[in-house]
Amino acid sequence: MRTDILDFHEFYHTALGAATQSFIAGRLTEAWGDGDRLRIAGFGYANPYLELFANAERRLALSPGGQGVIRWPFDGRNCASLVAEHYWPLPDASLDRILIVHGLEEAPDPKKLLREVWRVLADDGRVIIIASHRRGLWSMIETTPFAAGRPYLKRQLNKLLEGAMFRADRWSSALYFPPLRTKFLLRAASAWERAGARVWPGLGGVVMVEAEKNLMAPVGLVRSAKARVARPIIASPQPLRINPPSLIDAGRVEPRPSSRL
Q: How does pLDDT run across 119-164, given as a tens digit for each residue?
A: 999 999 999 999 999 999 999 999 999 999 999 999 999 999 999 9
| Average pLDDT for 74-78 | 76
pLDDT of residue 238: 44
pLDDT of residue 215: 86
Cβ atoms within 10 A of the Cβ of 98, count?
27
Cross-strand partners of 40: 59, 97
Rounded Cα gap, residues 47 and 222, in angstroms: 30
Indicate if the pLDDT at residue 257 is higher than 60. no
pLDDT of residue 5: 96
Indicate if the pLDDT at residue 66 is higher than 70. yes
pLDDT of residue 86: 92
Rounded Cα gap, residues 251 and 90, in angstroms: 10
Domains of the chain from N-terminus onward: 5-225 (3.40.50.150)
Indicate if the pLDDT at residue 258 is higher than 50. no
Cβ atoms within 10 A of the Cβ of 203, count?
14
pLDDT of residue 252: 42
Closest CA to 87 of 105, 59, 109: 109
pLDDT of residue 217: 59
Residue 133 and residue 206 in contact, taking contact as beta carbons nearer than 8 Å: yes
Closest CA to 3 of 162, 174, 132, 118: 132
Rounded Cα gap, residues 67 and 24, in angstroms: 22
Indicate if the pLDDT at residue 72 is higher than 70. yes
Residue 103 and residue 44 in contact, taking contact as beta carbons nearer than 8 Å: yes
Indicate if the pLDDT at residue 230 is higher than 70. no
Residue 72 and residue 47 in contact, taking contact as beta carbons nearer than 8 Å: yes
pLDDT of residue 112: 97
Residue 167 and residue 175 in contact, taking contact as beta carbons nearer than 8 Å: no
Rounded Cα gap, residues 205 and 131, in angstroms: 9
pLDDT of residue 218: 56
Q: Which of 22-31, 118-127, 189-198, 247-256 has the lowest mean pLDDT?
A: 247-256
Indicate if the pLDDT at residue 244 is higher than 80. no
Q: Which of 54-58, 66-70, 137-141, 214-218 has the lowest mean pLDDT?
A: 214-218
**Cα 34 to the center of its chain, rounded Å:** 17
| Average pLDDT for 177-184 | 92
Cross-strand partners of 81: 62
Those residues with Cβ within 8 angstroms of residue 252's Cβ, 6 or more apart along the chain or in another chain? none
Closest CA to 197 of 168, 177, 169: 177
The model's confidence at residue 52, banded by pLDDT at 50, 70 and 90, is: very high
| Average pLDDT for 182-202 | 90
pLDDT of residue 248: 35
Indicate if the pLDDT at residue 232 is higher than 50. no
**What is the pTM assigned to this prediction?**
0.83
pLDDT of residue 77: 82
| Average pLDDT for 38-60 | 96
DSSP H stretches of helix in the chain:
5-11, 15-32, 47-50, 110-120, 154-163, 183-187, 189-199, 219-225
